[in-house]
């Protein structure tokens, strides 16, 4: 048992929700450790579709406590809508706990997100406009509002007296946008306070107890390693730490308790938003994979950029997160390919590189080195075990293991997840 950290190994949208949902079956706690409602995933259970932005998908298991952890920034309005939709779809939210330490997205954050992006012009990042970057910036500046502030509205008001003029100055003087009034924000957040009160708690005792008693605790990451503020393709990243180190900080759990770090990877690569993407396919093949893989964002509906599996990114993600187990998703999207390619390295000005370099202008202009493997040319959608996969698909998976440097323990096709083997029986 113990703590399982589940992280995205690429640029997000790897299928983490599905993997967490599977792992959550026997979990006491599922904790969302970072990010905000820039994340999105869909889980289908018994024909019913559930959409998640902030609530951990473990909520569909009635015995599992689901925590929105201290590393998250949440928009109360979005969270309340999500809670209402989940309750309507038949989910029981009694076991949802929101950390008092999580930060809140304030009404000016999404507005500033949009204005800052517009001001960047051609250098814009392609954010989700959810206000995530501005909210994390305020957290770091120590002018953020925390969920616990909802339980002490006089404190929230006092803080607004200081913070709101700073924000309005930027809105009005820099962007010529309308200001916010303290009264409207107070009225709005007072209402959120009463509606969220039943969920707000300090998760510290229950998380520590679950860890001490050896129960399974899952840390559900959002986004992916290449969107990590430090480790990703800065500045084309999100504003949190989706890597395993960030997961622990965002949960308040020490590394000693981690028994496995699962990296979720798509069998190819996608990215939403701008920034370097060495294996991108900007041709008909990319178009084909986007349609076959339904690569359109859950949160924003944007078309995702699509490319081949990037080995240097995978081995980097394995290294920086300490991934010891890979979950490979959407393998069946490649079923009809005549050949499949895996990027095994990069060439930059004749020089070979085996991992993504920090300098993004280098990363933008390098040449991926590909290895070509024969496609398997038949459907894997009906496969229910590793042995059911055609030999050439098994060979593709084996090559990914070699290139990434970690074992593929779980493979999923669109409809189901296949257990190839669980290396650790305790899972
Ligand atoms: P899940 O959890 C994919 C991307 C945005 C943009 C960059 C910064 O579903 O994997 P932000 O709004 O965070 O400031 O945008 O990060 N991004 C994601 N891409 N999946 C996600 O989440 C993402 N969350 C943010 O597209 O490029
Ligand atoms: Mg997503």
One pLDDT digit (tens) per residue for the chain, 427 residues: 799 999 999 999 999 988 998 898 889 999 999 999 999 888 777 778 888 999 998 898 888 999 999 999 999 999 999 999 999 988 999 999 999 999 999 999 999 999 999 999 999 999 999 999 999 999 999 999 999 999 999 999 999 999 999 999 999 999 999 999 999 999 999 999 999 999 999 999 999 999 999 999 999 999 999 999 999 999 999 999 999 999 999 999 999 999 999 999 999 999 999 999 999 999 999 999 999 999 998 778 899 999 999 999 999 999 999 999 999 999 999 999 999 999 999 999 889 999 999 988 888 889 999 999 999 999 999 998 899 999 999 999 999 999 999 999 999 987 666 666 554 444 4
**What's the rounded Cα separation, in Å, for the pair 165 and 405?**
51
Residue identifier of the C-alpha nearest atom 25 of ligand 1: 38
Instruction: Quote the pTM value.
Output: 0.96
The dihedral region occupied by 322, where left means phi > 0, alpha psi between -120 and 50, and beta the remainder, is: left
The residues, ordered by sequence, that sit 6+ positions from 209 with a Cβ below 8 Å of its Cβ are: none
Residue 426's pLDDT is what? Answer: 41
Q: Which atom of ligand 1 is nearest to the CA of 298?
A: 9
Distances (CA, A) of 74 to 36, 125, 228, 304: 5, 21, 18, 24
Q: What is the DSSP letter of 334?
A: G
Active-site residue, 138 included: no
Q: Which atom of ligand 1 is nearest to the CA of 272?
A: 26
Distances (CA, A) of 400 to 327, 375, 393: 11, 14, 11
Which of 223, 231, 232, 299 has most ligand 1 atoms within 8 Å of CB, for mutation?
223
Residue recorded with tokens 């406009």: 129
Active-site residue, 41 included: yes
Quick one: CA dihedral 378, 381, 383, 386, positive or negative? positive
- Domain 265-419: which topology? Adenylosuccinate Synthetase; Chain A, domain 3 (3.90.170)
Residue 1's pLDDT is what? Answer: 77
Residue 419's pLDDT is what? Answer: 60
Distances (CA, A) of 376 to 290, 311, 337, 389, 396: 19, 20, 7, 9, 9
How far is ligand 2, taken at its centre, from the CA of residue 39, in Å? 5
Are the CB atoms for 329 and 15 separated by under 8 Å? yes
Are the CB atoms for 34 and 71 separated by under 8 Å? yes
How far is ligand 2, taken at its centre, from the CA of residue 299, in Å? 6
Ligand 1 pocket (Cβ < 6 Å) reads 8, 11-13, 38-41, 125-128, 130, 132-133, 222-224, 227, 238-239, 272-273
Domain ranges of the chain: 3-100+200-261, 104-196, 265-419
**What's the rounded Cα separation, in Å, for the pair 140 and 230?**
14
Q: Which atom of ligand 1 is nearest to the CA of 14?
A: 10
Residue 420's pLDDT is what? Answer: 60
Q: Which atom of ligand 1 is nearest to the CA of 127?
A: 15
Q: Which of 357, 342, 261 is nearest to 309 (CA)?
A: 342
How far is ligand 1, taken at its centre, from the CA of residue 425, in Å? 33
Q: Which of 183, 212, 199, 260 is nearest to 72 (CA)?
A: 199
- CATH of 3-100+200-261 given 3.40.50.2300, 3.40.50.720, 3.40.605.10, 3.40.440.10: 3.40.440.10
Q: State the catalytic residue, choosing from 21, 41, 113, 409.
A: 41
Q: State the catalytic residue, choosing from 13, 21, 75, 149.
A: 13
**What's the rounded Cα separation, in Å, for the pair 75 and 61?**
24
Residue identifier of the C-alpha nearest atom 15 of ligand 1: 127
Q: Do domains 3-100+200-261 and 265-419 have the same CATH topology?
A: no
How far is ligand 2, taken at its centre, from the CA of residue 271, in Å? 10
Its CATH class, for the domain covering 104-196, is mainly alpha
How far is ligand 1, taken at its centre, from the CA of residue 6, in Å? 17
Residue 418's pLDDT is what? Answer: 64
Residue 29's pLDDT is what? Answer: 98
- The helix or strand, by DSSP H or E, that contains position 41, with its residue range, turns out to be strand 41-45
Residue 104's pLDDT is what? Answer: 98
Residue 297's pLDDT is what? Answer: 86
Q: What Rg do the C-alpha atoms of the chain give, in angstroms?
A: 22
């Amino acid at each position: 048992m113990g703590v399982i950290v589940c992280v995205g190994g690429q640029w997000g949208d790897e299928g983490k929700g599905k993997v967490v949902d599977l792992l959550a079956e026997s979990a006491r706690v599922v904790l969302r450790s970072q990010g905000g409602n820039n994340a999105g995933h869909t889980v289908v259970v018994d024909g019913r579709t559930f959409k998640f932005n902030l609530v951990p998908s473990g909520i569909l298991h009635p015995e599992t406590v689901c925590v929105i952890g201290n590393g998250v920034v949440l928009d109360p309005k979005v969270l309340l809508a999500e809670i209402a939709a989940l309750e309507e779809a038949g989910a029981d939210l009694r076991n949802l706990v929101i950390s008092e330490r999580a930060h809140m997205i304030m009404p000016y954050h999404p507005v500033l997100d949009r204005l800052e992006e517009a001001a960047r012009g051609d250098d814009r990042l392609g954010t989700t406009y959810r206000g995530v970057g501005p909210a994390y910036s305020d957290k770091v500046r120590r002018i953020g509002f925390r969920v616990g502030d909802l339980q002490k509205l006089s404190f929230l008001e006092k803080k607004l007296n200081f913070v709101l003029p700073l924000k309005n100055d930027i809105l009005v003087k820099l962007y010529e946008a309308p200001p916010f009034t303290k009264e409207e924000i107070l009225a709005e957040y007072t209402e959120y306070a009463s509606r969220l009160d039943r969920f707000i708690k300090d998760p510290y005792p229950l998380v520590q107890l679950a860890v001490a008693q050896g129960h399974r605790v899952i840390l559900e990451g959002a986004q992916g390693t290449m969107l990590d503020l430090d480790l990703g393709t800065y500045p084309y990243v999100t504003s949190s730490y989706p890597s395993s180190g960030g997961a622990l900080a965002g949960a308040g759990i020490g590394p000693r308790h981690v028994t496995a770090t699962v990296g979720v990877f798509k069998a190819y690569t996608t990215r939403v938003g701008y920034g370097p993407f060495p294996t991108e396919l900007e041709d008909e093949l990319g178009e084909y994979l986007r349609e076959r893989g339904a690569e359109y964002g859950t949160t924003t509906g944007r078309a995702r950029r699509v490319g081949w599996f990037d080995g240097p990114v995978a081995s980097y993600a394995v290294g920086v997160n300490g991934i010891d187990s890979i979950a490979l998703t959407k393998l069946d999207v490649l079923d009809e390919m005549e050949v499949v390619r895996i990027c095994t390295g990069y060439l930059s000005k004749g020089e070979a590189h085996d991992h993504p370099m920090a300098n993004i202008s280098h990363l933008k202009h390098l040449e991926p080195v590909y290895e070509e493997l024969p496609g398997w040319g038949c459907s894997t959608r009906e496969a229910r075990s590793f042995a059911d996969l055609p030999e050439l698909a098994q060979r593709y998976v084996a090559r990914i293991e070699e290139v990434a440097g970690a074992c593929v323990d779980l493979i999923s096709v669109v409809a189901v997840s296949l257990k190839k083997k669980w290396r650790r029986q305790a899972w």
